[in-house]
Structure 1
Amino acid sequence: MTKQLHHHHRVSRSYGFSLIEVVLAIGIFLVTVLALVGLLGPTLQSVDEVEKTDEISSVVNTINAFLQNSPEIAPEGSRFNAIYTRVNSNDFAAILVFRAYDDNDVISLKIGFIGEGEPKIGVEDVTDGSIVKAAGTIYRAVLTASSVIPQEYLNETKPDRNGDGIYTLKKPIADYLEGSFAMEVRIFAEEPSLSFKINNNIRANIEPIFTYNTAIVR
């Protein structure tokens, strides 16, 4: 008796993705991409804000060091008296802070007062009309009397300020008996250009980018 051997062959089938699975996969991918793009915007904004904060902090430190220590403010006299008198005479004093190229294309810090007095910053430090010397943003710091100054030395009755939104001094340096002079410092940012102009004004109608208080001692 002859036995017949029957061989059973298994047929393997490879299954592809259905249309629904493909659509779902694409949908999940797009949602993930959109979520990442959404996170990227705030991240870049945060980096920009941190850089601006660091820059303002650097400007504040530069201004404070200048007011406290610069020998150029009053080479042969009292730095305290010079700063007080400058603020008192015009109701404010303005300082410019920026970096600029010198004749050898080396960038250095520029800081000084606008108007009379030393050290003085002029438009020629920003541009000569043919090239812009300033290397980046120009910061203008406006110094005025602070609200912490005793009432007897102010023209305005606290907490009311004058029409320019500031306090002004009513006594000359000879009659100012305090051991320190407190100032409100408002910082404004300007971009340099060939037509840049330096106006010694209080910029009352412009919003400062930062405001703080500082003081100098006798």
Structure 2
Amino acid sequence: MSAHCPSKFKSRHGFSMIEVVLAIGIFLITVLALVGLLGPTLKSVEDVERTDEVASVVNTVNAFLQSSPDIAPGGSKFDAIFSAVQNGNFATLFVFREYVGDTNDIRLAVGFREGEGGEAPIDIQAQITDFSDAAGPIYRVVLTPSSVLPEAYRSNVRNANGVYELETTLAAYEEGYFAMEVRIFAEAPPGPGGAFTEVKSPADLSGTEPIFTYNTAIVR
């Protein structure tokens, strides 16, 4: 009688179709969940970057208004800024980064709109005259009388353009401070050979939402 020899090969069972389908399904659900989490994460990063950029613009504006020696060399910075806002109940300044000449170096540009001023004009050194080398957004900063001002010097309500109106002259203004509402708008740069609209009144901007609004003040 011949001896029974066990087979050298054992049968191996592969994955069934159901197991494969279940595995793929679990994988896809995991991927979709991760993609769903990625969207809010990216939005959060963008929000943080925008917040940092706005904070940088605010700090730049405040530092410029409070301490720039170019606004009124040899004169009163307070009088120059007050007169600029009084002239039309608004004044405009710009903040943006720009290329330096034909290089890739970038510097910060900040200054009032060209020709800005009133009874005590803004010096030309503190005015922006060229936007062609802007590297990124141009921040239009609109200064208007603030609700913080005593009502003796301003209108009781905002006008049709959403701003308070000064109802006094520089000579008659006796307060030691001048409070302003600051609205910041982000605009696209003109690019090479392009044109940038420098003059925009509160009426022109009434349909545009500012990216940030706050109040600041200068002192005599």
Match of 2:175 among 164, 175, 178: 178
Amino acid in structure 2 at the alignment position of 1:65: A
Q: What corresponds to 2:209 in structure 1?
A: 207
Q: What corresponds to 2:47 in structure 1?
A: 49
Matched residue of 2:73: which SS? coil
Using the TM superposition, give the Cα deviation of residue 197 of structure 1 relative to its aligned residue in structure 2, in angstroms.
Answer: 2.5
Cα deviation code 1:49-79 (max 9, x no counterpart): 1111111110000000000000011111111
Using the TM superposition, give the Cα deviation of residue 36 of structure 1 relative to its aligned residue in structure 2, in angstroms.
Answer: 1.0
Unaligned runs of 5+ in 1: 128-132
Q: What corresponds to 1:68 in structure 2?
A: 66
Instruction: Tell me whether 4-13 or 143-152 shows the greater mean CA deviation.
Output: 4-13
Partner Cα distance (2:87, 2:195) in 1: 29
Alignment of 1:120 onto 2:151: no
Using the TM superposition, give the Cα deviation of residue 102 of structure 1 relative to its aligned residue in structure 2, in angstroms.
Answer: 2.3
Paired residues in the alignment total: 205
Partner Cα distance (1:20, 1:91) in 2: 74
Matched residue of 2:127: which SS? coil
Task: Indicate the structure (1 or 2) with the bigger Cα radius of gyration.
Answer: 1
Alignment of 1:107 onto 2:114: no
Matched residue of 1:73: which SS? coil
Using the TM superposition, give the Cα deviation of residue 9 of structure 1 relative to its aligned residue in structure 2, in angstroms.
Answer: 2.9
Instruction: Tell me whether 102-111 or 22-31 shows the greater mean CA deviation.
Output: 102-111
Partner Cα distance (2:163, 2:91) in 1: 12
Equivalences for residues 71-110 of structure 1 within 5 A: 71-105=69-103, 106-110=105-109
Partner Cα distance (2:100, 2:212) in 1: 29
Partner Cα distance (1:74, 1:88) in 2: 16
Q: What corresponds to 2:22 in structure 1?
A: 24
Alignment of 1:150 onto 2:157: no
Partner Cα distance (2:47, 2:19) in 1: 43
Partner Cα distance (2:196, 2:75) in 1: 33
Matched residue of 1:151: which SS? coil
Matched residue of 1:173: which SS? coil
Partner Cα distance (1:200, 1:41) in 2: 36
- Displaced runs of 4+ in structure 1, greater than 6 A? none
Partner Cα distance (2:209, 2:36) in 1: 31
Cα deviation code 1:184-212 (max 9, x no counterpart): 00000111121222114222222111101
Amino acid in structure 2 at the alignment position of 1:211: T
Partner Cα distance (2:102, 2:169) in 1: 44
Partner Cα distance (1:96, 1:210) in 2: 14
CA RMSD in angstroms comes to 1.7
Instruction: Tell me whether 4-13 or 162-171 shows the greater mean CA deviation.
Output: 4-13
Amino acid in structure 2 at the alignment position of 1:71: P
Matched residue of 2:74: which SS? coil
Instruction: Tell me whether 104-113 or 139-148 shows the greater mean CA deviation.
Output: 104-113
Using the TM superposition, give the Cα deviation of residue 12 of structure 1 relative to its aligned residue in structure 2, in angstroms.
Answer: 3.1
Unaligned runs of 5+ in 2: 117-121
Q: TM-score, normalised by structure 1?
A: 0.88
Amino acid in structure 1 at the alignment position of 2:45: V
